Every structure is written in C-alpha cells, then in structure tokens.
Structure 1
Amino acid sequence: MQEQREQWGTRAGFLLAAIGSAVGLGNIWRFPYVAYENGGGAFLLPYLVALLTAGIPLLILEYTIGHKYRASPPTAFLRLSKPAQPIGWWQVIICFVIAVYYALIIAWAVMFTGFSVGTSWGDDPEAFLFEDFLRLSDAPTGEFSYVGAVAVPLIAVWVVTLAVLAIGVRRGIERAARIFIPLLAVLFLILVGRALTLPGASAGLDALFSPDWSAITDGSVWVAAYGQIFFSLSVGFGIMITYASYLRRRADLSGSALVAGFANSSFEILAGIGVFATLGFMAASTGEPVGEVATSGIGLAFVAFPEIISSMPAGEVFGVVFFASLTIAGLTSLISIVQVVVASVADRTGLRRVPAVLIVGGVTAVVSIVLFPTTHGVHFLDVVDHFINQYGIALAGLVAVVVVAWLVRGLKPLSDHANESSAVRVGLLWRITLGVVTPVVLGWMMWDSLSAELAENYEGYSTGFLLGAGWAVAIGAIVGGIVLSLLPWKGGRQPEPATTDVEGVQR
C-alpha cells in the first residue's frame, strides 16, 4: 500500500522552505561581487528586469507543474508529456551531483564557525585554508589522502540533513525551515548592523551602489543579471517542482512565487550591503581601494573574511555569526536539493519515506564522503561546480522551457491551472516571457559560456582532467536522464490517465 502524498502544514511553512532553498551560499558570496563587477547600483535595473521577466515567471511555471501533477520532476514531466520525462531525471541527476559537493562547503563553514573563536587561522588565512585545513594538493593528479578535519564535519552535515528528511515534509523540512530561516534572518541582520558601524563601511557601500550607467548598454551585464537570478532562485533543477507537489489542492501559486522571489532578492541585496561594508573596512585598514580587496566565492568567505575578522574589534563574535549564517543558509539549500532525489525515486518505486531517505540519501552521502574530503577535493569541487552549473542547470532549464512552451504547448493549460486559485492571475505576458524572453536569454548564456569554454581551459586545468571531471559529469547527466526514463520502473505511483487540454495536446 502506497503512502498518501505528504502536504505542507501551512502556506507559511512552504514559503519558508522555498525561501530557504533559494537563499544559499551563492546569495552571500556571489551576488555582491556580480553586482559590483557589472555596473554597481546600475546593475539593479537589469537585475529587477530579470527577476520580473524570468525569475518569477519560471518560479510560477515550476510551482504549477509540481502542483498540477503532484509529483517530483520525473513523474511530473511524464504526466505532462511522456517524451518530456528525461528532463525530470536530468534534473534529479543534477541535484545528486550538486548535493555531493555542496555539503563539503557547509562542512567548511561548520569548522570555521569554531575557528573564529581564537581566530585559529592566524596571520595567513589563505595558507591556513588550503595548506593546514584542506591540505590541498598542487594538482588533481597522482596520489591523494583523506583529510579527517574535513571528513568529520561532512559526516555531521549529512547526519543532520538525512535526519530532517527522514522525519518528513511537514514534521521535518517545514519545522527545520521555521527554525532556520528566522534564525538566519536574525543572524544576518546582526552581521549587517555590525558591518555598517565599521570604519570605511561607507566607502564599501559607495563602491557597490555607485551606478555606472554606461554598463546598461553592455549586453554582458544583462546576461550576468539573468544568470544571477536564474542560479539564485533554485529554478531549473526540480526543487520547486518537488516542493510545490506537497501543496494543498487550493494554493496561491503566483502569489507564493512573488513572495519567494522578492524575499530571495531582498536577502541578496542585504548580503551585498553586509559584504561590501565589511570589505570597505578591510580596504580602509590596508590602505587599498575597495576594488583591490573585492572578491567572491571561496576566496571571499574563507580567506578575505577571516582576514577582516582578525583585524576588527570583537572580530571573533562577528566570525561566529558570519560562518553560522553560511552554515544555516547551506543546510536549508542542501535539504531541498537532496529531497528532489529522494522524492523522485520514491515516486517511481513506491518506497516509503524512511527507506527512500536511507537508501537514496545514504548513497548520496557516501559518494560525497568518499570523493570530497581528500587532498584533491577542492579541485574536483571547482570543476564539477562550474560544469554542472553552466551546462547542467542552465541547459536543463532552457530545454524544459522550450519543451513546455513550444513542443508540448503547455503554457496555456498551466496558466489556467495557476489561475484557478492564485491571487495574481497570469496570462499572455507570462506566456510571452517564458516562450520568448527566457529561451533567448538562456540560449545566449549557453552560447557565450561555451565560446569562452572552447577558447581556453577553465582555470588552466589540463584537458584530460576537464574531460573526466567536468564534461563527463555535464554530459553524463543528460545521458543518465535519458537512460533512467527508459527503465521499466515497477511499483511506483503510476502516471495519471492521459487527458486532452483545450488546445488538443494529449498528455
């Protein structure tokens, strides 16, 4: 006997979980630098346009697919149109790949929360991170060894993640979101408040928000804006389809997308204020321009911020709050990513939640623990993250939109479904943005990225390593999605009977 599909306890619980998925590490360490590099305050205009013409329409689309077909991506796309099923499995594989390395960064944040007490990184945070803590090898070749200081917190991260998932959607994911998201908001407000009081904070904010209006005419700035919105909202790899499948029959889909989209963007702007106010302090302390100390990613979080923490009054407290915020933001996103994999296998096999979490989540955790807490781990993380983002998430999103909008011609029936219970109705404008604007922008992003990729090797890595750890993962996700869709799944929730929509398209 199959379990009845779980449901969120309240709309607020769903929204907190959706916001928790969207608000992740990239909001804190990617958005501020992207904005700074692409026109500063002027970047907010294309960013807002991208949010309204791609981000929120894509959220509404994914919410509606999940809610209408009440399933995780593979089954939802199967019920939409049988040939579309590989897209769902493609998204599942993307989530699996992201989960195995995303947990590693959370484990670093856990350790650096402790390192902040006593500023264990000493006078050279970069050497401490890569040599003392990660014991990073010079190149991803030859022998490697496991790093216990990384493996132990990584195991702890997976124990917490799988425990939350095993408890269930309402009692596990929703309760965790109700605790983590308000806590994250409080911690980050404290962090930003302290950053704004630092000497030099105003110079950092001027660097971030002073508009360079000439950037508006630069096409790469608009591509960067759409890319940031696309990657920060957790669209394109099945999370929002899965989460929306647990909504009640009467749900405000478009209103929820507006709340989640603007909440995510508000957090990004808040993160930008906190990060650049802090970088302004660092610039004032060293006598360098803000542009010389501005960075992003791992370098910002685990090198630049420790340097700042060491030099500021009460820096240890600031460090604990910052890295605790990273940990919480990462955990809420990781939970949502693994949930896609667990739910998809459960939907197609009929496995109950606890066995599905233990088997599917357990395999994901084992792969993560075996591959990444090693002296080669950062090299693999860097390359896999780059290729799965550029040629996994973005390409999967592009294919999904083209298939739904043009091949299946499903936007009209999906908009009708969304309008049945949504406060904000969607219509022709929504269909135009998804059918024209989003495919054009995503297609241009793919072309631009691929052109740069073929011009020179990413970060100077060898061609063999990029083929084995980068292209193999990206292409393998596509092939794997097709293969999984062809398997004769037994015992799972069967597709709903085919229906004919108002445009005559059989699904």
Structure 2
Amino acid sequence: MREQWNNKLGFLLAAIGSAVGLGNIWRFPYVAGTNGGGAFLIPYFFAIVTAGIPILILEYTMGKTYHGGAPVTLARMNKKFEILGWFQTMVAFVISTYYVAIIVWTLKYLQFSLTLEWGDDPTGFFLNFLGATDSASNLGGIQMNLLFPFLIVWAIVAFIMYKGVRHGIEVVCRVTLPILMLLIVLLVIRGITLPGAVDGLNYLFQPDWSALKKPGVWVAAYGQIFFSLSIGFAIMVSYASYLPKKTDVVNSACITATANHGFEVFTAIGIFGIVGFMAGQQGVDVAEVAGGGVGLAFMTFPTAINALPAFNALFAICFFGALFIAAITSMISILQAVIASMHDKFNIDHNVATTIVVLPSFLISTIFITGGGLNILDIVDSFVNNLGIVGCGCAEVFLLGWFFKTEKLREEANRYSNFSIGKWWNYALKFVTVFVLGVMIVLNTIDYVCHGYGGFATKDVAIFGWGAILFVIVAGFIFALMKGKDGYRDLDEIAHKEGQ
C-alpha cells in the first residue's frame, strides 16, 4: 500500500511548508513595491483566483486520483504526457542542488546573528564570507568555511527524507511551522513600531494605479504566484498522491493558497517596516535601499538590523531563523517530488529511491559552495524559474486544458468537497492561465536571447543558464524512455490495491 499522511492537517502543513519558502520572504515585497505597490494587489489576487487556486486544485486532484508522482500520474492520464512529468521532476532536481547552498548561508548567518559578526559593511562581509569570485566560470575552489555547515544541512535533509512522508516530512512541518509563524510575528511587531516604518509601508502599499496599464505588472503577478505556491514542477502532485481518496481537495487548495499568500503579505509588512526605518536612518528614499532576493536577505537586512535601537541580535535570529525554517520545509518538498517520481515508475524501495536522488544532488551542489557559487546560483535560479517552472506550468495547463477532459477532473475534485467549483475552473485553466504563462515564456525567452542575463558573460550564461535548461530536457527524455515497472501506467493496479 502507498504511504499516506497521518491526516489532512499533516498534508496541509506539509503543503503550506512547501509553498512558504524564500520567495515569500525576500521576493514578494520587492515585486509588489516595484510593480505598483498597493495597486499590484489587484493583479496579484486576480492571478490567485485564475491561476494559483485553480492549478492547486488541478494538481491535488491529479495526485489524489492517479496515486503517483508527476510522471506516473501524467502517464496514467495519457501515456504521451509522461515526458512532461519528467521535465517537471528534473526542474525540481536542479532546484534542489542550489537551494541547499542558501540554507547553508542562512545557517551560518544564524551563528553570525549572535554577535552581529557582519559588522558595519554587511555587503562586503557577505561577499568575503562566500569567497565570491568575479565570474561564474571562475570557481575559486570549495570555500572551507562553508563545508562543515554544508555537511550538516545535507545530514539534516537526508535524515528527514529517509524517514519518509509520514514520519519525516509531516513531523518536521508540524513542529517547525508554528515556530516560523512566531518568529515572523515578532519581526512584524518590531517592524511596524519603528520610526520611519510608515515610509517603508508606503513604498510597499501606496497604489500606483497607472501600473495596472502595464502588461509587465500582470505578468509579474502571475510569476509571483507560480514561484510562491510550488506549482508546476511536480511537488503538489507528489504530495497529493499520499492523500486518502475521500479528501476534500478544493477546500485544501483554498486553505493552502490563503495561508501562503497571507503569510507573504504579512511578512512583507514587517520587512518593509524595518527597511523604511533603515532608509530614514540613512536619510535616503526607501527605493534606494529596498531590494529583493539574496541582496535583501544577506546585505540589506543585516544593515537594517545594525540600525535597530535595541535587541539587534534577537531580531537577527528571528529573521534568519525564519529563513532557515522556510528553506528547509521547501527543500524537503522539492526532493520528495523527485523521490516519488523514481519510486513510482521503477518500483524501488523508498530508501533506495532516496539515495538515488540525494547522492547526485549532494555531489552537484558542491559547486555552489565554491567561490563562483553565488554567480552560478544567480544564473541557474533565474533560468530554471523563468523558463523551467513557467514553461512546465504552461505545458501542463495547455495539455490538460486542451487535450484532456478537465471536466472529468472537476467532477472528481467536487466529489468529496465541501463546496464545489463551477465550470469557470475549466475556462480559467484553458484560456486565461495558458495565455498569461505563454506570454511570460515568450517574453522571458526573448529577453534572455537578446540581452543575456544580469550582465554576466555570454559564456557563463550559456553554460549555467541554457545548460541547466538543456539538462532538464535531456534528463527528462532519458527517464521517460527508460523501462518502468510493469503496469505503472495502469489504473487497474490502483483499483486492485485500494480493494485490498
């Protein structure tokens, strides 16, 4: 029998833990602030309704109904769809190789928080801490100060993965998510009570209604939904495959999305309250110090922490502790998506599947603790997110919307749900989401082809950016062509097991 969550709450906590990741903490505030502020919330909520929740319902229904990771689930829907499942799985695998590096940095910064070791120049300290070289192709060797925390993080992650879904992932999420919320609440309370906080919140939420006329703002809203909900790259299909048949997936999808996006907005309030205070201390506009991604977490925020009038170390620990928990719960979901795919197609023992996934991810991830690791991570992350995840998500809704009876999935989703979704769901997937994601793919591809990325050398972008996409495609084809267990596409096998 397939392993199952202990109960619906365990599944929801795991799904929320996956969705609540680094993108919620360091990406959403910057995206919102630079795309119309408060006006951005209109396309943002529109994207939640037309893409976020519908795709969550779709993936929960797929996983629960067809009882498999993304490749096997899609193969059971139509054997020609299996290749897409492997593309999604390989995207997750690539993300796992660099995501761990960010967890390593966060773990070290938890240690640095005790004494505010980054001093008066957090930017210089961070680059020196990483031994950052001048280019992605200049590796500079493994940074020995990162090696021990690197091994610790992998030991923690591997231990959780070997424990499995019920005794590993679910237990970790039950324990860590309440702690995460407590840390964020402390940060938000501190952030909004600081002098100058209102300037940061104005930057974040003051509406620029003219931004709604810009197509790029709407594209950014859909991009944020994809990046923050863990949809489109095998995770939620995998998690839902461990659900009992009679689980309410519509309600579950709404709870997951609401919790994730509520956390996103709530966290942004605390972060930009503190950033507004920092801007006031420096006598500059918030726009000059506000940023996103790695820069916000490891450069801007430590600078803001230094400026706090009291309890600096405590709030540094809250911030980096929250980052660490969010990253760990996302990392284990990413790996589980790959492990489930291997286990389901090839019918191998869980521990064997875990080793097959964790070992190569561990070996490849060592490149991200070299001197060139920061630059490599920047390039790979951009390409995998903007082309890999969005491309897989677009292909998923296109294939299922146009070449599979989504009405069948809608009926299955409604069968055990407290409230039903109407036929608008079919049209949202078939037209709105496909169109917007298609536009995103075209725009992103043109931008990368014509302008490269981030000022990096063409060679580096070719190797680590386009190379990552090529790896996803080639590896996806290889796994799709490999022979799996007999009957892995056969739904009769599921019916037989459920009848036992």
Contact map agreement 1:350 1:491 (CA 8 A) in 2:
no
- How many correspondences in the alignment? 493
Report the more deviating stretch, 48-57 or 472-481: 472-481
1:169 corresponds to:
165
1:79 corresponds to:
76
Structure 1 85/215 Cα, relative in aligned 2: closer, same or farther at 3 Å? same
2:476 corresponds to:
481
2-side partners of 1:463 and 1:286: how far apart? 37
1:42 corresponds to:
39
Aligned ranges 1:48-447 → 2 under 5 Å: 48-131=45-128, 133-142=129-138, 144-312=140-308, 313-368=310-365, 370-407=366-403, 409-447=404-442
Contact map agreement 2:187 2:271 (CA 8 A) in 1:
no
| Pairwise CA distance, 1:300 | 0.4
Deviations 1:397-444 (A, max 9, x none): 11111111112x230111111111012212310000000000000011
Contact map agreement 1:348 1:491 (CA 8 A) in 2:
no
Contact map agreement 2:142 2:370 (CA 8 A) in 1:
yes
| Pairwise CA distance, 1:466 | 1.2
| Pairwise CA distance, 1:497 | 4.3
1-side partners of 2:200 and 2:358: how far apart? 42
| Pairwise CA distance, 1:261 | 0.4
Q: Which runs of 5+ in 1 are unaligned?
A: 500-507
Contact map agreement 1:348 1:492 (CA 8 A) in 2:
no
Deviations 1:77-132 (A, max 9, x none): 1101000000111111101100000010011011101101111111111111112x
Contact map agreement 1:43 1:225 (CA 8 A) in 2:
yes
1-side partners of 2:410 and 2:146: how far apart? 47
Q: Which runs of 5+ in 2 are unaligned?
A: 495-500
Contact map agreement 2:487 2:493 (CA 8 A) in 1:
no
Deviations 1:177-211 (A, max 9, x none): 10111110111101111111211111111221111
| Pairwise CA distance, 1:156 | 1.3
1-side partners of 2:164 and 2:204: how far apart? 41
1:504 corresponds to:
none
| Pairwise CA distance, 1:322 | 0.4
TM-score with structure 1 setting the length = 0.95
Report the more deviating stretch, 469-478 or 135-144: 135-144
2-side partners of 1:187 and 1:403: how far apart? 41
The root-mean-square deviation of aligned C-alpha atoms, in Å, is 1.4
2:464 corresponds to:
469
Contact map agreement 2:70 2:234 (CA 8 A) in 1:
yes
2:498 corresponds to:
none
2-side partners of 1:127 and 1:487: how far apart? 48
What is the DSSP-based 3-state SS (H/G/I as helix, E as strand, rest coil) of the residue aligned with 1:344?
Answer: helix
| Pairwise CA distance, 1:31 | 0.2
Report the more deviating stretch, 140-149 or 176-185: 140-149
What is the DSSP-based 3-state SS (H/G/I as helix, E as strand, rest coil) of the residue aligned with 1:232?
Answer: helix
Structure 1 218/166 Cα, relative in aligned 2: closer, same or farther at 3 Å? same
Contact map agreement 1:242 1:343 (CA 8 A) in 2:
yes
What is the DSSP-based 3-state SS (H/G/I as helix, E as strand, rest coil) of the residue aligned with 2:331?
Answer: helix
Deviations 1:32-68 (A, max 9, x none): 0100001111111111111001000000000011011
Report the more deviating stretch, 454-463 or 55-64: 454-463
TM-score with structure 2 setting the length = 0.96
2-side partners of 1:302 and 1:33: how far apart? 15
Q: Identify the match of residue 451 of structure 1 among 446, 450, 466.
A: 446
Deviations 1:298-351 (A, max 9, x none): 110000111111121211111011000000000000000000111111112222
Letter in 2 for 1:404: L
1-side partners of 2:491 and 2:139: how far apart? 51
Letter in 2 for 1:299: G
Letter in 2 for 1:188: I
Letter in 1 for 2:339: V
Deviations 1:233-277 (A, max 9, x none): 000001000000000110100100000001111011011101110
What is the DSSP-based 3-state SS (H/G/I as helix, E as strand, rest coil) of the residue aligned with 1:54?
Answer: helix
Report the more deviating stretch, 44-53 or 149-158: 149-158
2:22 corresponds to:
25
Report the more deviating stretch, 166-175 or 48-57: 166-175
Percent identity (aligned)? 43
Structure 1 281/343 Cα, relative in aligned 2: closer, same or farther at 3 Å? same
1-side partners of 2:200 and 2:442: how far apart? 34
